Amino acid sequence: AQSVAQPEDQVNVAEGNPLTVKCTYSVSGNPYLFWYVQYPNRGLQFLLKYITGDNLVKGSYGFEAEFNKSQTSFHLKKPSALVSDSALYFCAVRDYGGGSNYKLTFGKGTLLTVNP
């Protein structure tokens, strides 16, 4: 069964500093990996995805993520954090083991707080 772990419930960074939100995954087939962000009382917004190709994926709002197959990790990064980046971040995996159904397995989420 596929699974995702976000080891940090909360990450605090100062505005202007780089940020990293960690994610590790476990799948039986090839991983399709996603990052989503959730603001209070809102749905999830798609940030970026890794399907295949370059290990560094660039996404919305200046975010990027680094895929590392040997460490089964997909960490979210941003070079310079903004206060407006404060939100709940979810890592998700779709295990595309040959089936066509669409099911995402999410991590527990990491609350990012960017301090002014």
Asked if 82 is part of the footprint of another protein (rule: CB under 8 A), the reply reads no
Please give the Cα distance from 40 to 51 (Å, whole number). Answer: 28
Q: Please, is 23 exposed, middle or buried when counting C-beta atoms within 10 Å of its C-beta (0-12, 13-18, 19+)?
A: buried
CB of 61 to another protein, least distance (A): 15
Single residue of 90, 110, 112, 114 touching another protein by CB under 8 A: 90
Tell which one of 65, 78, 81, 109 touches another protein (CB under 8 A): 109
**Residue 22 in contact with another protein, rule: CB under 8 A:** no
Separation of CA 3 from chain center: 13
Tokens encoding 116: 């002014």
Residue 97 near residue 29, CB atoms below 8 Å: yes
Question: Does the footprint of another protein cover residue 86 (CB under 8 A)?
Answer: no
Is residue 25 involved in binding another protein (CB under 8 A)? no
- Binding residues (CB under 8 A) for another protein: these are 30, 32, 34, 36, 41-46, 49, 51-52, 90, 94, 96, 100-109
